[in-house]
Chains A and B, each alone.
Chain A
Amino acid sequence: MIILDIKNLTLEIESNGVLVKALDKVSLTIQENEIRALVGESGSGKSLIVRAISGALPPQWIVTADRLTWRGQNLLSMTRAQRQAIMRRDIAVIFQDPLASLDPSATLKDQLVESIPQEFIPKGWPWQRRKARLRIAQQIMRKVGIKDVHAAINKYPHELSLDICQKFMIAMALVSQPTLLIADDPTRGMETNTKQQILTLLAQLNKTRNLSILFVSHDLIAISAMAHSMTVLYCGQSVESGKMKAMRRRPLHPYTKALMDSAPSFSPDLIPKSPLVAMDGTIPTLQHLPIGCRLGPRCPRAAKECVQVPEERSINEHKYRCHYPMHVESV
């Protein structure tokens, strides 16, 4: 069953005095129990999607969508209170910058205890309830791999190292036992051991607790280790989505292909220090978006038709937006 359904999400923002479509008809769905990766270049709009789902956008930005629903309920038309209730109990978000999203003036304990839903605390005297809360808080902190919980729990965010803050953000998100976890680059800059620990924890929660995950990252190795399916974003447009395996083996969109080629670890035969396959150029600024397919100027397969925006097409579960897709014959 689809729990989160996004169809043609468009986000218009004012940047340097002009109104630009930072997201242009983005579609994305998340099934129950699914781990979906959202990948794309820096500046492609991944964090904007996360913010649009959570409703954390400045009021002057214009959001439109054919569908933006949570279990069939329209997130855009419901009241603020209803939306907040969903964000508190069903969907948890780990934002990209841990320090900016933690309260600098409260200890980890205070912040975490605050996020524990009331119904998790057994009835009892206030001091019993306080103790129960503390126990839950410590438990979850241990679970995400924070080593010295007793020392860390009474500290303020700025007193702790970045990777403890990152782990703590994950603890904060998991403490309400959400149905869907949206994690924006949660393992960025983590060393391999810690990263593997976090990925294992998330994969395990997915299996044992049916946690669905939207995993935003450009760490392709981490993504292919855990995601079932993937949506690729380029320049504010969703260009391809489908099952992880199929997309790795036979990407249809030239950009997905370039993405896959860029991880040296995926090509074991690569000669050390040889140049990596890389697409020329760089993602354009929002002020100078090319017309038609936004990949056009960088795309090795581009041809005349590409000045028209490609419509979304699909082959079975596999969706793509490209006039001249690859591997189509073999799908």
Chain B
Amino acid sequence: MKTAAYLCGGCGIAEQLDTARLAAIAEREGKVDLVREHPFLCSAEGVQAIREGIDKDGATHVMLAACSRRAKTEAFYFPDVAVARANLREGVVWIQEKGEAAQEMADDYVRMACAELKRMQVPKAGPDTGKSKRVLVVGGGISGLTAALEAAEAGYEALIVEKEAALGGWAARLHRRIPERAPFKDPAETGVPALVDAVTRNSRIKLQLGTTVAQTAGAPGRFRVTLSNGRTEEVGAIVQASGFSLYDAARLAEFSYGKSPDIVDQAGLEALAKKSIPIRRPSDNKEVKQVVFVQCAGQRDDSGKHLPYCSGHCCATSMKQAMYFKDANPAVDTVVIYTDLRVPGNGEDFYRSAQAKGVTFTKGKVSAVEADGAVKFRDLILDEDTQIKADLVVLATGQVPNSGVNIDNPDEPDANGAKPISILNLEYRQGSDLPRLAHGFSDSHFICFPYETRRTGIYTAGPVRRPMDIAQAVEDATGAALKAIQATENAALGRAAHPRSGDLSFPLVRLDGCTQCKRCTVECPFGAIDEDEKRYPVFNESRCRRCSTCMGACPVRVISFENYSVDSVGAQIKAVGIPDETEEKPRILILACENDAYPALDMAGLQRVKYSAAVRVIPVRCLGSVNQVWVTDALNAGYDGIMLLGCKHGDDYQCHFVRGSALAAERMSKIDDTLKQLALENERVITCEAAITDIARLPRLIDEYAQTIERIGLSPLKGFA
């Protein structure tokens, strides 16, 4: 190892700080072999100087004391050496007035970067590099067909596994679809035959009909999939487009479904329309003269008996179905009873068209449908109970995702009361299907990465992810197919998927120290870790997203990454010079999520927002990666307070690693015991949720915390370390 440090004087750093003092610290305390100052490090000459240090002087580890690690990443791109950065610009000169406090801050950041540097290695890329680029698509409905076709058109092989004997799914059973093109006025052809044709004729797409997935093992780039017909296929990524089942209208006793053939659900109406236009009623084959649509049948239910959510498409679907009648015979009375009409996309135009065609929309809540077709409801505008006698009633029931088994509760029936059947049959330690978010829909990062599930290389598309219509499913499937392709390419190179895209590090585990506690295997948000026969963890590197949650979980600290470890952060914590009590200078350690909190602080710097000079900020991959030992070490070292800044957790989480911040919160809830043992106040360690937009809020939080520390006084543990 040969270390080199480069100190930049640009962007106001040299004006505000004594860079010679920083250089001396790097040399004497940091024990860096080669220390250089440069007035403008990201300039061509500056970069050239670094390059020479690497090429001529043989530096293998380079410390750059300049701007934030998030800035100038192109200029400071040296993939052949380990790089650590001291954030003197956003972290010091932009947020502090010139003076001793700022200088001390800078001194510490240089010390910290030198300490981190020596504990880093250049990542060598994971050994787990499956080379298959093929995409398995589970489900042959609109979503699956689109995903396969998009992958094929991008030049990748695809395999569709469909449990029915024919392709097309629900869409094939429609008479017409909601229009996706201007002027959005009339029901449109479904387009399914053409899509099926294009898929069937595409030489890159193979089909397995009447087949299900019996087992899925492996990892991105090397999934081994066994089918129900005994065949085994190797694929690089998977798109799960297993769609939905209709909510069973028979569960709505008050709507008499099943008691009369003239009470149908939306699928039933499509079947009638396919049979004949004008639509005839099933009981006597007479043309329907008065049809009533009951919206939200068993949906948006707050009684806890039915679906609590809105399926999103059914308002527009009822409009479309009402047009089946109106277009054929304007004299047919069509009444849609709704509580709110929700028509996403260009549905407003479609709604207007339905009104213009004479479909009557009535805001009301249906209480009962009698077997003779009497629809009883409360008119919510006229505020009265009333009824309509219809000769056909259509119930707009919702979508129930076909998401397989709830891995947290494998025997739980689905919303229709059906026994769960696994879709993917994953050979994963954490369960046979994808983790869920709510109501049975598979988890996907709603805010930032909608197709990403919590199983790397497996993407969901269509109504299994969230309720949706055809247009949305097509968009979904296209996105998922592209993500699947990306996953295979990353896997082949041993690179991480988002959000640490391109990271070549991977978890290294010292098994001889492992106590088989299973914390890592249980807590990994991405199910990357299996267990071997001796119950040791087996890391599947290409399933891993490099969140380091396992590292944070491991009580014996045997998990690490080449460029991020318990040691690399621990050394930074210890490198900070803690002033003794007599100096009355508090020190606050901030461990900030690199995805949201740290960028927000950088932006605060960019906006020159000033905040306390007592803080020393260390970016962490995720709050989930925070190992308890950092906290205890920091407290023992005499820090006066510790702030953990991470993303929002819960149902509407924003954590880039989905579960990281939730796990951190769980672990930190137990920190009080530690504090008690050390006879410290609860306020010494706090956790705050922060979003990337908290540019003004974070500095405020920090200052408030600094005041809290001032109020409770300096840590009594100073000087014992």
Partners in one complex: no
Residues on A facing B (Cβ under 8 Å): none
